[in-house]
Structure 1
């Protein structure tokens, strides 16, 4: 089973918001590499839910992919922060997926702690300057992170 890490600012969508909602659309990704990762996701894949751009960035829980990628409707909505004036109904370059709540961790695993783990040296998240909001996680990295919760 492929594993992923997806970042969200908790004031936009937190793991506790997802817990309350049960399921929601993950949209607004405007990086082609991250979008391509989303397009390769399969129903049942799992992801680490990462809180970013907040006082305590880190992994806050687990969610599951509950749909295949589809055209991101926020790209067509002129009132959306993620509106793309070049996107058209018939040619929308951006994708979204639906995610389902699985687990909220009892603590956020901080980025500093993740960076200190030798098993995570290849994880793009721990590299300086890595700003991808969606990235693959190997089975070994998944296991190493789960051991920290």
Structure 2
């Protein structure tokens, strides 16, 4: 899961109550489908800072809930409001995530690009800008190895 640190950073996640937040505002159907259809409570998630220097995986989170409707889609005062979405037929879903680890130092995009076994990682594919992307078990393990941490 990607976030711009000036919008929401790993430090913001750590400071949240129980280090847990709902991951709202996803307005891309493919990213929504990954979250809605593929993520399950207990799944590990890489936290990636986008539009940052350096671009990097800065830590990990766990999925802390089943998917449920994103309440911001119903709020006319929210920048994520969707007038075509209804409570009976919501378009946008979210999951709660909980902080599990910080990578210090972070695993940079350049490290990922240069590491054998990560050449097919969606994160570094040209044109892949989704804020939520699948990660294989092998990719998860290699990123943890680069971070000097045991996979959780």
TM-score range, shorter chain: over 0.9
Equivalenced residues, count: 144
Equivalences for 1:31-46 in 2 at 5 Å?
31-39=28-36, 40-46=38-44
Task: Tell me, yes or no, if structure 1 residue 18 matches structure 2 residue 16.
Answer: no
Whole-Å Cα distance in 1 between the matches of residues 142 and 107 of structure 2? Answer: 12
Specify every segment of 5 or more residues in structure 2 that has no aligned partner in the other structure, as ranges: 148-152
Secondary structure of the residue that 1:64 maps to in structure 2? strand
Secondary structure of the residue that 1:62 maps to in structure 2? strand
Query: RMSD of the TM alignment (CA)?
Result: 1.0
Whole-Å Cα distance in 1 between the matches of residues 59 and 77 of structure 2? Answer: 30
Specify every segment of 5 or more residues in structure 1 that has no aligned partner in the other structure, as ranges: 1-5
- 1:115-144 Cα distance to aligned partner (Å, 9 max, x none): 111211111111111011111111111111
Equivalences for 1:125-136 in 2 at 5 Å?
125-136=123-134
TM-score (structure 2 length as normaliser): 0.91
Whole-Å Cα distance in 2 between the matches of residues 58 and 16 of structure 1? Answer: 14
Whole-Å Cα distance in 2 between the matches of residues 64 and 73 of structure 1? Answer: 21
- The equivalent residue for 2:90 is 92
TM-score (structure 1 length as normaliser): 0.92
Secondary structure of the residue that 1:17 maps to in structure 2? helix
Of Structure 1 and Structure 2, which has the larger fraction of its residues in strand? 1
Query: Runs of 4 or more off by more than 2 Å in structure 1?
Result: none
Equivalences for 1:1-149 in 2 at 5 Å?
6-21=1-16, 22-39=19-36, 40-149=38-147
Task: Point out which structure has higher relative CO (alpha carbons under 8 A, 6+ apart).
Answer: 1
